[in-house]
Structure 1
């Protein structure tokens, strides 16, 4: 930056140039020389650097280049952090004779300390932190410029000792050597001489264990002293009390003993005190005059006594960490009045008494952790008054009473751990909210709480334990990331929900000791990762589903004390159970071979038996008559099935002959491609066994027909409507689909083969896509019984194929076509998972590309519809861009588009995650996380965010999106940019 005197100097440049022509010539020559030096740096370090790539050899204005600072036309500063440099620092750098500031932090230098910098004679600021420098610091490090004031070598791989000669740099004000591998003795000999030092960091180095050097007490100008995790022993020396300017004192993670000196609490400028994870003993002083303290962390020591009342005078205090000590007594009430307190952690002590009643009312309290103490009474009424609370951790106390009303609507709450207390009353219903809730962990077991669940719990729950309370009502449909659900010993009733797909990731499910009735749902098999399942002590009836035998992760199974009947499935032999209890039921039949083990409890099932050759004598021998009966029943069942099948075939043939007589008079076939089948083959395939699904406008069938060579092939048939439910909207859908698909020819748009219509129904016949929809592979795998998943390269290819289809509709058709209902369910996958866009019932043909078209009704699916649908009825291509962005989010995160309820969708979730956490690996689908592909996934996730922006004009075109996706396609050897160019040529033609 230019200071005021430099700015004044520039005002006189014209005058100086007229009076001193020789000096001007010299200045020009110097500028040309610096220009060449900088270009030499670019050549040395390569052109992949984000900053150096913009250094242009044809421009003389190098003072305007990124990372370059000039004063009076001379280069005085170089700042090139985060440039991925690997090659060493070249000697030519110090040919910049006026260089005073050099920042090369966050690169990949891996040499020893660069002594070439000794030649930078005017250097006063040097930052080489966050690199990979190795070896020892040179003994003559004092050969650096004597002007140097700031030296930052932190976060490298230096080792050995810190040379005493570092104390011969008299102007040093900040010395940062933390986070290296220095393993010698503490550098007291040299550093103690740096009388101007204000910042000193030696933390996270494996020094030889020793006390804090006495000489550090002479550094009276220090304001920042960071000495964490460096093997300090002994006590804090008294002469550190001379450091009256200290604002930060951190000695955490050492082996310091003794008491905390009283003089620390008298440092009037002290703001940050970190003494955690040491061996401090004794009490905390109660005469505190360091009233500027904002953060205090004395956790994980052996402190005794009470919490000083003077802590309540620290009006700037934001963090108070005293956990894992031996403190006793109560929390001073005035702590509840502190206006800036955000985080208080007092767990694992011997504290008792009631909690400060004003806590939470006067500050934006974010975290409250007091677990494993002896507190009693109620939680403060205003604990979440300011709606910022994220964590309440109060388990293992003697707290009682109703939960505070301020928790109702405490929507930012993430962790609620209140187990093993005496709370009563109804649990706040808003905390179960699907829409607004952020709760991840709820552990409220062993209280006396009551209430009911909503129909569905929030998707973001990972752990829910309400055991040993008084909750009632039906078992909720669980959704999202839930791993553990325990609800033992409550008053839950009704049946176990059949839709268990929402908790397919659950590992432990305990519903024991309730009043649940009905059968175990056959869909239990979707819980493939289930490790422990307990529904004992209920009123569950029916048979044990054979699906249990395929749950390979199951180790604990307790179905005891119910009314289960029938046989134990033979597939139980496939399980490797550590614990099995099927006792006190009404089971019968032969016990599977591997369950004949004394460890398993199958008692009190009078109908169970074993075969005659079994070595188990605790069960009766199965009678032969029983075997015969079972065989006869099986035989009769087979015969009945054969008779039923014969009747069905006869009926089918009669109906088919009847249709053959009628169809030529009633059905009209309109082909769009060359066909090798007749309408009669299609009509004969519209039977129940060929039905594969239902959509918004009718049923879909998988029909087998003969191909050109006479072999069997497949088509998909959509039956739009029947005479009984004919309506105007479906009529429009039909004509839209026929008009668009009948004319479109593109490899990534599903092919409409023909249309068959009559007065009774209208049929659309498509090419058959054998792998179904993308939605099925992303979100319905458990429901369909497949364990396979789409890896990232396949997902990227699907995104590219889908983008090609939409790109053709937007840019390759004249006029352009807008799909208006683009979603993962409308992306169909072929034999090699090549994708095609389908279902054009809501599509619109724009009168002019890029201009909005009025629509009479909103089309689309919630979660994929852009925000402008809420306030306008005009659409253009940016509607599809938004929907495509949502599909990209599904591909990268694995989440459903509309799983968060009517007021919360995937796009909103993704934007919030990005704003709060940036590009965190937590947003990516766990199944496909891979260091090889994570960077590409982050890029596609970012592209999805851009596509789902609120302003339509800010969203990219599908052509731009396709170009961006092709850059991440590493499957083609020819290079993605060439591929993108050929794609654009194809579109333009």
Structure 2
């Protein structure tokens, strides 16, 4: 009886307490997966996840037995946060959510996935810091963790060093701006570590990294590390791939690195490494070595000639000397060798190319001599040979005439002689560039040049024969200073794409054909110093973009057609001909006063210097004065002239005495850099002969001061009444330039002033301004165009200068007049920001400053400058975006758009309307190269983003610099896309997708549903 009561009581308690027991989950794994699908927002990519099929066959699902072990959903357009339901899968070991658009902070809910061994969250839009307790992420099992290409910021937490089983750790291409923890050295199982392309603060590489003895792949490009490479790296016995490029490392390369037996890849380019490459023994497994753009000295060691697996050897931009080891010529795998810009001497290895699949050789700008090896194209795949600016002699190898793979030949400025092998013009079916000027080459050109040849420069040689009549793709033909003869082809349709035609100083005769009007893309025409005769064809006046015309020193006659006056010419020279009549009215001004010399029968109705007035001829028949009266006038005039000359000499001597005496004492000199510059030398150098430029605020002179040293002097005014506006601009430039120091900002040496003149003395930039290289209308004689790598380096340099101004100055600076003419280039083509006359210092970082007038240059000026009195650094971002569009399209900012507006407006409209073609349609033809297509398009699209009408939609200069640096890192490689700019939870959004080919529209919108989000708009650019 008691037993029955006990059972009854227990039953009662069970029924009573049942509702209060924790709920027991009875979901099956298919039900969990359907919940995961729902949590992802039921995306179309998961439409195959339905009850009627086996869940193990669903997209991205892998099972062991019937239990899910892997969820692999890379590249499925997932846009939500990471579902917490994922960790309900009890046996999940592999989770790959890469290449999506997942948002939010790091998903700590994944800590509940206790069996996780592989986690890939790369190529998404995550923000914020990595949690300090990241070691709770399956600490004893996790082997692979990739957070690459997101927007994580802050520190890499030291707790990462507690992931005791980790083998691969990928943290590259984020926004980490905190420390690199030394605790990473505790990861004894780690084989792959990627930290590249993060804005870490300057720091040395932790010496504890030498304790990662299992490490085989270390990638730390662009991580802002400095100092020496730790000697502890000699303990990394398993290291195969070492990439520390684009940092500020200095000192010698530790010898121990070259003793690592497994080392295959060494990338240490673009640092400040010095000393010899001291290697004598060790690894023979090297595959690729890039030590370029450092300050290495000494000889190229024989060590490299023993690397039987070596395919790439890049040692360019160093101070290496001596000869190239002959053993390098017998390497069986060598395909790419770049040694340019060193001080190498001697001959090229005689067997170079004979034993290997050589496709690229660049040894330009050295002191190499001897003849080119016959074997360069023995492998049959040689694409590019660049040996310019050396001392090579002899003939061009006949074997190059049978090299059908040739695309790029640059042998200019050497001592080559003899005829060019005829096969170069017929066998090289892919030939696009030939630059062979300034040699002693001879021979004749064929009537038909290769179909896709775009650039032929052969000036200053001994070529003869006639001008080719067919070159369907030719854009640049420079053949001056040769012995070409015959006439200009009557039918020019075969060369109708020409942009530059320079045939000066040859023996070309006959008339200029009227058919020249078919050259509608021609910007530069130089036929000077020939034997051309007849009249000028009026059809020259119909060339729509012609900016330079030189027909001097010929035998041309007749009137100058009025139609030529319609041309917008920056340079015109018709001197030393037999032209007559009145000069077209548009040319009757001071700008063309040297354009018509030695044409005695030309005249001008407007007192044009060097031309007589029309209607007046000094002849006996037309002169109404008698011979006697004329003689009296001549005598009186001579006496007056002699008297004026004597007085002038006396006044000049007195002026010099006063100037060199008391006047110089009145000069006030304020120096900012120590330089041997005397104010008297500066003042005496302000002559018309030294004038190199003018601007809205004054004139610029090039003044020689000491030996070969030159400085640039900007003269702000020269009047007793001071202009308030110019005074403010002057003081602004002095205040700013005198207080800042940066490699990409022009250096101000001193300020010299007195009561009448104010001068700025700053470093002279040998290569002028960027716009003089980009735009043929401003291009200085003898300057060619810039290739894409040079343009990208200039963009990065200018961006660095602006970043320094915006973020690193004690008081942030907004330039307010960024444009290509204010980006100057030194002898090494290093870009430097100049002309701070419109710059303003901001009182606080991020605080806009009120301005009293619109400032800037049309075409570069941000839209808000016209209606806002408050401006911030985003106006510089807009202007820099226009410069990027100039660099990529080759068009001018205010004249390179369509009929509806500026260049920025035109490109924006192209994208908004679908473009009607490919992005490549916008790209400057001078830089179109399949090798760089992806990088050029990225830079162009970045320019589009920067020129957004809304300031808040533009990235910061830090973001812009980061993308350009990534672009440079991947320049010439495949698969690069920009993912987006924007803001999420206060953090900037910037992602980069490597290798993805998916395309989206220019301005896709990602709507953020998280309560903590502060912006719901992300610009996607793919």
Contact 1:432-1:457 at 8 Å conserved across structures: yes
**Residue 555 of structure 1: aligned partner:** 547
Residue number in structure 1 paired with 2:284 = 291
SS at 2:345 equivalent = strand
What is aligned with 2:466? Answer: 474
CA distance in 2, matches of 1:472, 1:890: 42
Specify which of 445, 449, 461 is matched with residue 453 of structure 1.
445
3-state secondary structure, aligned to 1:406: helix
- Secondary structure class of the residue paired with 2:110: helix
Q: How far 1:268 sits from its partner (Å)?
A: 0.5
| Shift in Å, 1:551 | 3.3
Are 2:201 and 1:208 aligned? Answer: yes
Per-residue CA distance 1:778-826 (angstroms, 9 max, x = gap): xxxxxxxxx999x99x99xxxxxxxxxxxxxxxxxxxxxxxxxxxxxxx
What is the deviation of 1:419?
Answer: 0.4
- 1:426 equivalent among 419, 428, 432: 419
Per mean C-alpha deviation after superposition, the further-off stretch among 126-135 and 593-602 is 593-602
1:71 aligns with 2:56: no
Measured after TM superposition, the shift of residue 609 of structure 1 is 2.1
Cα offset, 1:605, TM superposition:
2.0
Relative contact order higher in (CA < 8 Å, ≥ 6 apart): 2
Contact 1:186/1:208, CA 8 A, preserved across alignment: no
- In structure 2, the CA distance between the partners of 1:428 and 1:32, relative to structure 1 (3 Å rule), is farther
Pairing partner for 1:266 from 259, 263, 285: 259
Judge conservation of contact 1:35–1:60 (CA < 8 Å) in 2.
no
Q: Which residue of 2 aligns with 1:439?
A: 431
Structure 2 contact 407–428 (Cα < 8 Å) conserved = no
Residues 1:389 and 2:382 aligned together: yes
1:221 has 2:184 as partner: no
Deviation of the 1:467 alpha carbon: 0.5
Pick from 1, 21, 37: which aligns with 1:42?
37
Q: What root-mean-square deviation, in Å, do the aligned CA atoms of Structure 1 and Structure 2 show? A: 3.7
Alignment match, 1:943: none
SS in 1 for 2:485: strand
1:359 and 1:617 map into 2 onto residues whose CA distance is 59
Q: Is the 8 A contact 2:326 2:350 kept in 1?
A: yes
Q: C-alpha distance in 2, partners of 1:383/1:490?
A: 28
Bigger drift between 58-67 and 226-235 goes to 58-67
Displacement, 1:112? Answer: 1.4
Alignment deviations for residues 537-575 of structure 1 (CA, whole Å, 9 cap, x no partner)? 112222222233343433321101112222112133333
Three-state SS of the structure 2 residue aligned to 1:425 is strand
Q: Distance in 1 between matches of 2:233 and 2:401?
A: 49
Q: TM-score, normalised by structure 2?
A: 0.58
* Alpha carbons 2:94, 2:118 under 8 Å: kept: yes
State the shift of 1:331 in Å: 0.7
2:166 paired with 1:167: no
Q: List aligned pairs for 1:134-145, cutoff 5 A.
A: 134-145=127-138
Given that 2:401 and 2:428 are in contact with CA atoms closer than 8 Å, whether structure 1 keeps it comes out as: no
Deviation at 1:615, TM superposition (A): 5.6
Q: How many residues align?
A: 630
CA separation of 1:919/1:373 partners in 2, compared to 1, >3 Å: closer, same or farther? Answer: closer
The answer to whether the 8 Å contact 2:403/2:428 transfers is no
Q: CA deviation at 1:506?
A: 3.2
Q: Give 1:113-132 correspondences, 5 Å limit.
A: 113-132=106-125
Match of 1:250 in 2: 243
Distance 1:31 1:467 in 2: 84
Any idea what SS the aligned residue of 1:365 has? coil
Structure 1 residues 615 and 451: alpha-carbon distance in aligned structure 2, compared to 1, 3 A threshold: closer
Structure 1, residues 449-473: CA drift from partner, whole Å, max 9, x if none? 1222222223422321010112222
Q: Choose which of 172, 177, 180 in structure 1 pairs with 2:174.
A: 180
Q: Does the 8 Å CA contact 2:460/2:479 hold for their aligned counterparts?
A: yes
CA contact 1:445–1:466 (8 Å) conserved in 2:
yes
Shift of 1:517: 2.1
Q: Aligned with 2:86: secondary structure?
A: helix
Displacement of 1:359 after TM fit?
A: 0.5
Does 1:528 pair with 2:523?
Answer: no
Q: What does residue 589 of structure 1 align with?
A: 581
For residue 388 of structure 1, give the secondary structure of its aligned residue in structure 2: coil
- Taking a change above 3 Å as real, the CA distance of residues 614 and 305 of structure 1, as seen in their structure-2 partners, is closer
Does the CA contact (< 8 Å) of 2:161 and 2:186 recur in 1?
Answer: yes
Task: Say whether 1:149 aligns with 2:143.
Answer: yes
Asked if the contact 2:67/2:91 (under 8 Å) is kept, the reply is yes
Task: Please list the CA deviations of residues 854-893 of structure 1 after superposition, one character each: whole Å capped at 9, or x if unmatched.
Answer: xxxxxxxxxxxxxxxxxxxxxxxxxxxxxxxxxxx99999
Q: Aligned equivalents of 2:329 and 2:918: distance in 1?
A: 47
Mean Cα deviation higher: 372-381 or 530-539: 530-539
Structure 2 counterpart SS, 1:605 = coil
Q: 1:921 to 1:163 in 2, by over 3 A?
A: closer
Q: What residue is the counterpart of 2:46 in the other structure?
A: 52
Aligned partners of 1:31, 1:541: CA distance in 2, in Å?
A: 99
Counterpart CA distance in 1 for 2:43 and 2:564 is: 60
- The whole-number CA distance in structure 2 between the counterparts of 1:294 and 1:308 is 16
Match in the other structure for 2:230? 237
Deviation string, structure 1 residues 230-256 (Cα, Å, up to 9, x no partner): 121221222221111111112111111
| Contact 2:520–2:543 (Cα < 8 Å) also in 1 | yes
Q: 2: CA distance between counterparts of 1:315 and 1:233?
A: 32
Matched ranges for 1:734-773 at <5 A: none
Alpha-carbon distance between aligned partners in 2 of 1:606 and 1:534, rounded to the nearest angstrom: 22
1:919 to partner: Cα distance: 9.9
In structure 2, do the counterparts of structure 1 residues 524 and 231 end up closer, same or farther at CA, with 3 Å as the change threshold?
same
Say if 1:122 and 1:498 are closer, same or farther in 2 by CA, change over 3 A.
farther
Deviations 1:755-800 (A, max 9, x none): xxxxxxxxxxxxxxxxxxxxxxxxxxxxxxxx999x99x99xxxxx
Deviation at 1:525, TM superposition (A): 2.7
Q: Is the 8 A contact 2:262 2:285 kept in 1?
A: yes
Asked if 1:401 is matched to 2:394, the reply is: yes
1:559-570 alignment, distance < 5 Å = 559-570=551-562
1:111 is matched with 104
User: What aligned pairs does 1:593-612 form with structure 2 within 5 A after superposition?
Assistant: 593-596=585-588, 597=590, 599-611=593-605
Q: Distance in 1 between matches of 2:495 and 2:937?
A: 19
Distance 2:522 2:278 in 1: 53
Tell me if the contact between 2:268 and 2:291 (Cα under 8 Å) persists in the aligned partners: yes
Q: Which residue of 2 aligns with 1:379?
A: 372
Provide the secondary structure at the position in 1 that maps to 2:539.
helix
Taking a change above 3 Å as real, the CA distance of residues 78 and 890 of structure 1, as seen in their structure-2 partners, is closer
Cα gap change, 1:210 to 1:891, in 2 (>3 Å):
closer
- Cα contact 1:234–1:255 (8 A) shared by 2: yes
Q: For 2:361, what is the secondary structure of its paired residue?
A: strand
2:78 aligned to which of 85, 90, 103: 85
Distance in 2 separating the partners of 1:213 and 1:385:
47
Matched, 1:579 2:574: no
Q: Which residue of 2 aligns with 1:133?
A: 126
1:325 aligned to 304, 318, 321, which one? 318
1:877-934 deviations in Å (ceiling 9; x for gaps): xxxxxxxxxxxx9999999xxxxxxxxxxxxxxxxx9xx989979999x9xx999xxx
Deviations 1:314-341 (A, max 9, x none): 1111111111111111011111011001
Deviation at 1:303, TM superposition (A): 1.1
Deviations 1:485-521 (A, max 9, x none): 1011122222223444454443321011122222222
Larger Rg: 1
Give, in whole Å, the separation in 2 of the partners of 1:534 and 1:31.
86
TM-score, normalising length from structure 1? 0.59
- Partner Cα distance (1:272, 1:495) in 2: 56
Deviations 1:142-196 (A, max 9, x none): 221122110011111111101111122211111111111111122113x122221
Whether the 8 Å CA contact 1:31–1:74 is kept in 2: the answer is no
**Do the aligned residues in 1 keep the contact of 2:30 with 2:51 (CA within 8 Å)?**
no
Alpha-carbon distance in structure 2 between the residues aligned to 1:578 and 1:314: 55
Alpha-carbon distance change, 497 to 891 in structure 1, aligned in 2, over 3 angstroms = farther
Task: Give a deviation string over 1:81-115, Cα, whole Å, max 9, x none.
Answer: 12222111111122212111111111122321122
Q: Aligned partners of 2:167, 2:920: CA distance in 1, in Å? A: 48
What is the alpha-carbon distance in structure 2 between the residues aligned to residue 200 and residue 226 of structure 1? Answer: 6
